[in-house]
Amino acid sequence: MLNSPLSASSTELVISVLSLVLSQGKPLDRAYSQHFSGLQLVPAEQARITIVAGDILRRLNLYCYLADIKPEEMERFGSKLLNVWHLFHGLDLPKMQYALPVDREDYASRLAIAQNQPVLWDGCPQWLDELGQAQLGDNWVQERAALNQAPKRYLRVNELKCSREQLVEKLAGEYVLTQAVEGVSTALEVLSDSALFRTESFKAGWFEQQDAGSQLVAAALDAKPGMRVIDACAGAGGKTLHIAAQMQGKGRLLAMDVEQWKLDKLKERGRRAHAHNVETRLIVGSKTIKRLKLSADRLLLDVPCSGLGVLKRNPDAKWRDTPERLPVLMELQQHILQSYSRMLKVGGILVYATCSILPDENRNQVDAFLGANPNFRLLDDESISPAASGFDGFYLARIERIAE
């Protein structure tokens, strides 16, 4: 956390970012880019702003309760919330003009009440707590607490360009301190507050920013040079680029999605990463899938999901989402599994993956699929728990096609 208060201008920026997210429903990353572009903030100050805004969103209900304001009142009462945030973290108050004062007695009695309400203390909305309890039982309490922690920063070394050791050395020369992550051969943890995207290493495509847990997903696919591989929900290509590196640029890697703008972004990232064997294809209907029947040695289905495993990184989602979205997502996940698995060759392996920690989106989906498709068998599966690993939460299942 911080060791000195925010400046008045940074405090105003935090309030403005929060208002955009909470009143206008803007995703946090877009609210940041809208505010930061053109401002030329020094990286350390930008980092402090994102630390505070991220922490407030991770425990929004707690801070709003302590300040006695409603989230939708951020524009009017944000200064009071920011004062409370500083008090809570034992910092002097920021020097804002016209800031609303905090009644210290009221704050102290609210703090004492909140300390005895674990769900509020962990920054969890009621609907999410009920869902987590129902799905994970006793394990939910640890996951709930882990999901309100600040996320660590991780990089994935682009092995098409350099080794992990070479990247550590090059980044050290750019004043970026990193350390290898045990158990994830491509991952580095970033230990300094550096602006990663301004480094020469990034511009030269030596790394991508990617959570260590996420790196385990493409690793499980085990794509080899020369194979035909399909990444059917590729998005902007976080995992596609990792697969391209596994394939050492040899063979055919088809990245598909239903959103063209994401595939365009993927192409741009692919150029920087020297991932020359990636081809993109927009899914325009069931025909796009049918044409690829029995064509893939490896198939990644990184399906749309609730994203409840990555709430540390996207804390705004829990104030926007509702439990009603889950059944809709689950139907889409099952549809993708049933229909896209036809693209796999006999003997080929598919990886079904989510960034969720809910069994209903994970193992239960796999079991339902296998129950209806005897031509496939489960090789193994893994749940990456935020509480146990410190990474974001993911699930992956490796499934083999054993007959046509």
Ligand X SMILES: C[S@@+](CC[C@H](N)C(=O)[O-])C[C@H]1O[C@@H](n2cnc3c(N)ncnc32)[C@H](O)[C@@H]1O
Catalytic residues: 355
Q: How far is the CB of 239 from ligand X (least distance, A)?
A: 4
Among 39, 113, 191, 258, binds ligand X (CB under 6 A): 258
DSSP state string for 217-246: HHHHH---TT-EEEETT-TT-HHHHHHHHH
Q: How far is the CB of 383 from ligand X (least distance, A)?
A: 16
Nearer to ligand X, 134 or 282 (CB): 282
Helices 43-58 and 74-88 cross at an angle (nearest 10°) of: 100
Verify binding: residue 329, ligand X, rule CB under 6 A.
no
Q: How many CB atoms lie within 10 A of CB 363?
A: 16
- 316 labeled binding residue: no
Q: Which stretch binds ligand X (CB under 6 A): 51-59, 65-73, 230-238, 309-317?
A: 230-238
Verify binding: residue 211, ligand X, rule CB under 6 A.
no
Verify binding: residue 302, ligand X, rule CB under 6 A.
yes
Q: Which stretch binds ligand X (CB under 6 A): 110-118, 129-137, 158-166, 232-240?
A: 232-240
CB-CB contact of 71 with 91 (8 Å): no
Taking residues 191 to 210 in sequence order and writing x for each that binds ligand X by CB under 6 A, - otherwise, the string is --------------------
Verify binding: residue 213, ligand X, rule CB under 6 A.
no
Verify binding: residue 233, ligand X, rule CB under 6 A.
yes
Among 8, 145, 195, 283, binds ligand X (CB under 6 A): 283
Degrees, nearest 5: CA angle 169-173-178: 55
Among 26, 161, 170, 262, binds ligand X (CB under 6 A): 262
In which residue are the tokens 């889950």 written?
326
Cα separation of 72 and 49, whole Å? 20
Q: How far is the CB of 246 from ligand X (least distance, A)?
A: 14
Ramachandran assignment for 254, one of left (phi > 0), alpha (psi -120 to 50 degrees), beta (any other): beta
For residue 310, what is the DSSP state?
Answer: G
Nearer to ligand X, 223 or 336 (CB): 336
Handedness of CA 38, 41, 46, 52 (dihedral sign): negative
Among 238, 309, 315, 348, binds ligand X (CB under 6 A): 238
Handedness of CA 31, 33, 38, 39 (dihedral sign): positive
Nearer to ligand X, 85 or 369 (CB): 369
Q: How far is the CB of 245 from ligand X (least distance, A)?
A: 13
Verify binding: residue 259, ligand X, rule CB under 6 A.
yes
The encoded tokens of residue 59 equal 């425990």
Half-sphere exposure of 4 (CA within 13 A, CB side): 6
Q: Which stretch binds ligand X (CB under 6 A): 137-145, 153-161, 170-178, 233-241?
A: 233-241
Among 257, 360, 361, 392, binds ligand X (CB under 6 A): 257
CB-CB contact of 350 with 391 (8 Å): no
The encoded tokens of residue 57 equal 């969103």
Verify binding: residue 234, ligand X, rule CB under 6 A.
yes
Among 6, 81, 227, 232, binds ligand X (CB under 6 A): 232
Q: How far is the CB of 161 from ligand X (least distance, A)?
A: 19
Q: How far is the CB of 72 from ligand X (least distance, A)?
A: 29
Task: At 146, give phi and psi (nearest 5°).
Answer: -65, -35
- 106 labeled binding residue: no
Task: At 164, give phi and psi (nearest 5°).
Answer: -65, -40
Cα separation of 5 and 290, whole Å? 58
DSSP state string for 69-114: --GGGHHHHHHHHHHHHHHHTT-PPP--TTPPP--HHHHHHHHHHH
Binding residues for S-adenosyl-L-methionine: 257, 302
- State the residues that interact with ligand X by CB under 6 A: 232-236, 238-239, 257-259, 262, 283, 302, 304, 336
